[in-house]
Structure 1
């Protein structure tokens, strides 16, 4: 199974991306997931995109969106302007708009805008909260990518993005996307902000649906009455959708916590293990498809469990590594999984099968120039900005969550002796 594992353990960051599709298939050749992570001055900026559908248009949309989003939220002007979570929300909204406009304007002259691809997006900041020995994770999401938090004290996992697909009955509908969806406009139905308060040694994980679809009991071929959930129903379709969602959400959190418990809790081990679960679950389906390439994919989950897909996991272990002067950037490959990424340092993880072409990679790059004026100008010209302003922050359901009034006052911790950037 081809794949890449990018890691910098000193910063506590690791990302793994791979395809669980059969060899020589379109899904294996063109990877439509894209991620980018940057860390400087104690702030981690990250984004994960999952191009909608297949092919080069979806891949290009995801790559374009991840590039423009990370550049917008992590440039010198953006980082130096961060004082509280209100500032962060403004920057994240602008970055989402810029990413949408970049996709829409990337077509060749004469080509219709709707010919561009679309993508889901989840991205934001992990930062130290001023005057508190705690961290905050604030992010924006549109579509069906998810974020999870692992508590280093309780060993429990919660879905920070709980409910972002609860009202969607069509499994092929991500709930939202950027890029031209209705005319030139994006689909912002489930766009929202999320916040989670975290502690030292906790883990933050952002994943595409290729990860969590393979932690779904229905995709294991299990009926509701076959798992310990107190329900006697023998078919998911007969179960109330709200109850089914709660059962699956609980199962997902327990499954992810179980996977993490088998690791040594480093970001690299966790990223590897979470993505590897998707590889393992889909093995029978993938092997059957490779042996029967002219046949359609079987849908009997009892005989052929799991859902093949592009699979990406970003893991950040919360740790205070000081105010680094260099800017660390970790990013996915720009085209497909078989092409080696442009890197300065390329390492082999001895625990990985060398025949599977997996590697550890990282890049150190200088910060990109600010584009604040350009973004503000585009905001004034776009109808999308009015839609973006209608969404409010959604906090994860946690006993330690701050109140609404307290949240607006949360400040970003910066060193007085050394500027953030």
Structure 2
């Protein structure tokens, strides 16, 4: 009897949790139309999932299909890299005509945010890979994405309970995107993008680089710690759903999609890098789009990722040097009173993937290069 009652209560709480997520996305969900899409093959042709990278940070790529890197710009102090472990997570499934991928950024430092990001990302991708088989149109896919992010939220607590870690439960931002083929004859595609928090997604082609959704750039340096939304344990085991996005965007064959955590995006922000403080939000977004676009013009995706990584390392060098040199009351006054260093220290992850048709004969050989020690 007690077991039945517990099951009923669990179902009640799950239903309440799903409603909370659906209500948060309702305004944007209602705008999405029931457009049919070409079903992908059941089994993906290639899968990629990020790993643990320290102290060597790889640049992982597969021909012109995709490229990825994840690294930490935090300094080494007394021989130890602060800020470890990296709490970012990325997973991607490449089907014959479909892309499912997810970017998570654990909020804070330590094992709890890392575990939250990994659990949420793996659950969201698994949920979408299961549900895409039964979806027949874009609106149903959007519905599945909301369920996936709700499942991802729940998975953080389930994983903590299984590992007896319920005292310290982390939280994470989450960005999930599904790219679907609309018409087989014309190679038209649609991208559904769901975002909670401050990770970003950009669409790049020969004519422009644009964010998939309008976002609020940092108001000031003090705003850097604001994740702008998260799932998991934000307050009393509840998510922060004040800033959510669900967007439909048509994309073309050959376009490149870039997803990144805020460790990448914030170091393109004109105020964070000390370029300009008088821009409004839209001007800041356009500035960031323009700067990122310059790096996406490289001949290969791997070269673009490497160039972005090198830029981030350089942009954060002043902040890293400042943190590497602890100040004491005995430090000279000129060192104690100084302007705040430009750049942001963070876990930094970026992935590029090409919109294209794939076939079983495609070769997904993995190439790896490495950043020097940061």
Shorter-normalised TM range:
0.7 to 0.9
Q: 2:346 — aligned with what?
A: 309
- Counterparts in 2 of 1:313 and 1:217: CA distance versus 1, 3 Å: same
CA shift, 1:6, in A, is 2.1
- Counterparts in 2 of 1:298 and 1:186: CA distance versus 1, 3 Å: farther
Contact 1:105 1:113 survives alignment (8 Å): no
* Mean Cα deviation higher: 198-207 or 214-223: 214-223
- Counterparts in 2 of 1:325 and 1:73: CA distance versus 1, 3 Å: farther
Q: Which runs of 5+ in 1 are unaligned?
A: 225-235, 237-242, 329-344, 358-421
User: Given the alignment of the two structures, is residue 56 of structure 1 paired with residue 111 of structure 2, yes or no?
Assistant: yes
Structure 2 CA distance for aligned equivalents of residues 298 and 221 of structure 1: 18
Please give the TM-score of this superposition, normalised by the length of structure 2.
0.74
CA shift, 1:112, in A, is 8.0
Aligned length: 310
The within-5 A match list for 1:37-56 is 37-56=92-111
Q: 1:161 — aligned with what?
A: 213
Deviation string 1:257-302 (CA, Å, 9 cap, x unpaired) is 12223x11x322222222322111112332343344879999835x
Deviation string 1:5-64 (CA, Å, 9 cap, x unpaired) is 222225x1121111111122331x310111001112321110000001111101110111
Structure having greater relative contact order (Cα 8 Å, sep ≥ 6): 1
Q: 2:296 — aligned with what?
A: 260
Q: 2:11 — aligned with what?
A: none
Aligned with 2:356: secondary structure? coil
Match of 2:231 among 154, 161, 178: 178
Q: 1:219 — aligned with what?
A: 272
Q: 1:101 — aligned with what?
A: 154
User: Given the alignment of the two structures, is residue 204 of structure 1 paired with residue 257 of structure 2, yes or no?
Assistant: yes
Q: 2:323 — aligned with what?
A: 289
Structure 2 CA distance for aligned equivalents of residues 277 and 205 of structure 1: 16
Q: Which runs of 5+ in 2 are unaligned?
A: 1-54
Q: 2:306 — aligned with what?
A: 272
Structure 1 CA distance for aligned equivalents of residues 230 and 295 of structure 2: 30
Deviation string 1:146-197 (CA, Å, 9 cap, x unpaired) is 1111122x1x111112125689994422221111223232111112211221
User: Given the alignment of the two structures, is residue 4 of structure 1 paired with residue 47 of structure 2, yes or no?
Assistant: no
The within-5 A match list for 1:60-71 is 60-71=115-126
CA shift, 1:214, in A, is 0.7
Deviation string 1:54-92 (CA, Å, 9 cap, x unpaired) is 1110111011111111111123xx232232211211211
- Counterparts in 2 of 1:36 and 1:43: CA distance versus 1, 3 Å: same
CA shift, 1:327, in A, is 12
* Mean Cα deviation higher: 178-187 or 49-58: 178-187
Q: 2:71 — aligned with what?
A: 18
| Pairwise CA RMSD | 3.1
User: Given the alignment of the two structures, is residue 136 of structure 1 paired with residue 176 of structure 2, yes or no?
Assistant: no
- Counterparts in 2 of 1:50 and 1:99: CA distance versus 1, 3 Å: same
The within-5 A match list for 1:365-404 is none
Q: 1:333 — aligned with what?
A: none
Q: 2:143 — aligned with what?
A: 90
Q: 2:171 — aligned with what?
A: 118
Structure 1 CA distance for aligned equivalents of residues 288 and 96 of structure 2: 34
Structure 1 CA distance for aligned equivalents of residues 94 and 249 of structure 2: 19
